[in-house]
Amino acid sequence: MRIAGESIDELRAQAEKVKSAFRALPTADRVRDDWGAETFTVKLEVDPDRANLAGVTNLDVAMSSAVAMNGRTLSALREGDRQIPIVTRLRSEERAQLDDIQSLYVTSLHSPQKVPLGQVSRIAYRLETEKIRRRNQFRTITVSCFPTPGVLASEVIKAAEPAIAKIVADAPPGYEITIGGEKEEQERGFGQLVVVLALSIFAIFLALVVQFKSAIKPVVVFAAIPFGVAGALVSLAVMRSPFGFMAFLGIVSLIGVIVSHVIVLFDFIEEAHEKCESLREALLDSGIVRLRPVLITVGATVLGLVPLALHGGPLWQPLCYAQIGGLTIATVLTLVLVPVIYSAVVLDLKWIKWDRPTHEAPHDRDAAA
């Protein structure tokens, strides 16, 4: 979760709310943010009015305190081929405590006057953010966690969404809370896959238009795709598998298999049409003749995916379940629906012209319907 805004205190407050939401989940582990904990700091705050009256400047205070505590290199002692720096600073017992700083004297660079440091400054203690990260030029604190073993990141986000939605609704104006990590990559991947899928379907459509020399027949081929996709979604729901990137990838590949099976039936029907066979005989023969190659292809694919679905882990299970359920349901629907859709397009919608032979009986039309 990325929280972007201006105020550091408000950013940390919102980050703590998000971390509390993650810590309340038993599936989230190692919750943290990328800013880290605040650091205890000691600052020397100079009173400008007193410093001016005493004839010293902020530079004088800084140089005197730095020389006393950290030291200043005056020269170097050469010993053989080595140079040992000569540093002047207070003894360790004189600078062991923070209160010792107040007893230092500040020497002005423009006059020989010395002023006790405690008269022109005071010591302030506070907690400060040591590391501030930015994203797109805005201060952004990122809260992250790891899912527990055997749990997907999508399941953690799904469980945290109600609490996150409440935090987003209560966030003050000017502060943006967005989801990153795997979900962000998943949405980006989905967008790219949708573009690839659309281009692929369009390319297949053009190829079928050229092959069948018709713009209506490819539509009949694509009519079985929604039923296969619905079968894949039903399979994922029954197996309680999340719909993620791998499941979407399985559905994309499933569409290609469904189209190939429909083309196998459709091509046989077109061959029967060219031989001037009756519509009824063409539809029945296509289902009978193409039944075995379709079942062999589907059976080999499904049986090959079963071991991977059972033992492949949570990464491969959504893809396998989408393929298994989609292919099983789409095969039955393809063998039944494609002849029905084709006969409806020919007999009812009249989009495809079928020249019936003269010996075809009137009851054949009703039987085909």
Please tell me whether residues 237 and 291 are part of one structural domain: yes
State yes or no: pLDDT of 71 exceeds 80. no
On whether the CB atoms of residues 27 and 155 are closer than 8 A, the answer is yes
Phi and psi at 7, nearest 5°, equal -75, 130
State yes or no: pLDDT of 299 exceeds 80. yes
- 217 lies in some domain: yes
Please tell me whether residues 162 and 46 are part of one structural domain: no
Domain boundary at 141, 156, 179, which?
A: 179
148's CB contacts (< 8 A; 6+ apart) are 26, 27, 28, 29
State yes or no: pLDDT of 145 exceeds 80. yes
Please tell me whether residues 249 and 141 are part of one structural domain: no
- 250 lies in some domain: yes
State yes or no: pLDDT of 17 exceeds 70. yes
- 80 lies in some domain: no
3 state DSSP class of 313: coil
pLDDT in tens, 146-186: 999 888 888 898 899 999 999 999 889 989 999 888 888 87
3 state DSSP class of 230: helix
Please tell me whether residues 338 and 360 are part of one structural domain: yes
State yes or no: pLDDT of 16 exceeds 90. yes
pLDDT in tens, 328-342: 888 877 778 778 888
CATH number for the domain harbouring residue 109:
3.30.2090.10
CATH number for the domain harbouring residue 294:
1.20.1640.10
Please tell me whether residues 353 and 260 are part of one structural domain: yes
Please tell me whether residues 136 and 17 are part of one structural domain: yes
172's CB contacts (< 8 A; 6+ apart) are 10
- 218 lies in some domain: yes
- 81 lies in some domain: no
- Report the distance separating Cα 87 and Cα 76, nearest Å: 9
State yes or no: pLDDT of 14 exceeds 90. yes
Give buried/exposed letters for 249-278 (b at 16+ CB in 10 A, else e).
bbbbebbebbbebbbbbbebbbebbeeebb
Beta strand 72-79 pairing with 176-178:
unpaired
Please tell me whether residues 259 and 232 are part of one structural domain: yes
CATH number for the domain harbouring residue 14:
3.30.70.1440
Please tell me whether residues 117 and 174 are part of one structural domain: no
Q: Which domain holds residue 117?
A: 40-73+88-128
Please tell me whether residues 337 and 193 are part of one structural domain: yes
Please tell me whether residues 233 and 284 are part of one structural domain: yes
pLDDT in tens, 250-286: 888 888 888 887 888 878 888 887 888 888 888 888 8
- 78 lies in some domain: no
State yes or no: pLDDT of 359 exceeds 60. no
Please give the average per-residue pLDDT across 139-150, as a whole number. Answer: 91
pLDDT in tens, 227-244: 888 888 888 888 888 777
The pTM is what?
0.56
State CA 38 to chain mean position distance: 29
Please tell me whether residues 124 and 141 are part of one structural domain: no
Domain boundary at 116, 149, 179, which?
A: 179
The domain tally of the chain equals 3
- 310 lies in some domain: yes
CB count within 10 Å of CB 201 equals: 17
- 307 lies in some domain: yes
Please tell me whether residues 280 and 194 are part of one structural domain: yes
H or E element in which residue 350 lies: none
